[in-house]
Amino acid sequence: MTESDRQLVHERLESELIVLWRRLRSMAIVLTRQIDDSLEAATYGLLGAFLDAGDVRAGDLAEQFGLDKSTVSRQVAQLESLGLVERVTDPADKRARLIRITETGRERVNRLRAARARWIMAALQPWSAGDVDRLGDLLAQLNASLGAELAKHRAGPPAG
């Protein structure tokens, strides 16, 4: 493959990833409105992160996702006012507070995830099982590579 061919392949991949990102974002917005229009899709994403992480400091989650602490703080306040999360004392440091998802929050995230799974299953229904499996493998490989690249960039430029 020539350098020109490689460039075309990378441009096509980047274009398809942008389309995928936009469609997934639009899907998240539509599903969020269908489940509960009192929250934005991004806030549901944070609520899902609290479900996955268990009890966690809001600042730690902000750092993990590369979000501003004030943004996470506002979203946590909204989630707390709706009874979807609660603040609890950190048993390791009584001065610190952890965020814990409530049963109501857990139920909402699970409803959203189930609806998203149905939507994706419907979109992939015409595909062969082998193609779906191959896509899963390739996405896992891409996610691992992007995660490694992100970790390098978060670490900053090499010293010297």
**Domain range list for the chain:** 3-126
CA dist., res. 137 & res. 127, Å (int): 15
Residue matched to tokens 């989650």: 61
Task: Name the nearest CA neighbour of 24 among 116, 134, 121, 127.
Answer: 116
Q: Please tell me the least confidently modeled range out of 36-40, 99-103, 121-125.
A: 36-40
Q: Which two tokens stand for residue 53?
A: 């992480």
Confirm if 105 and 73 have CB atoms less than 8 A apart. no
pLDDT digits (tens, 9 = 90+) for 41-86: 888 888 999 999 899 998 888 888 788 899 889 999 999 999 999 9
For residue 158, name the pLDDT band (cuts at 50, 70, 90): low
Note the pLDDT of residue 27. Answer: 92
Answer yes or no: is pLDDT of 109 > 60: yes
Q: What is the sign, positive or negative, of the torsion defined by CA atoms of 147, 149, 153, 159? A: positive
What pTM did the predictor assign?
A: 0.79
* Relative orientation angle of helices 41-53 and 69-81, to the nearest 10 degrees: 90
Share of the chain above pLDDT 70, in %: 98
Neighbours of 66 (CB within 10 A): 8
**What's the whole-number mean pLDDT along residues 108-137?**
96
**Would you place residue 159 in the very low, low, confident or very high pLDDT band (cuts 50, 70, 90)?**
low
CATH of domain 3-126: 1.10.10.10
Question: Which residues neighbour 106 within 8 Å (Cβ) at sequence distance 6 or greater?
Answer: 51
Mean pLDDT to the nearest integer, 117-136:
97
- Greatest mean pLDDT among 35-39, 57-61, 71-75, 142-146: 142-146
Q: Is the pLDDT of residue 160 over 60?
A: no
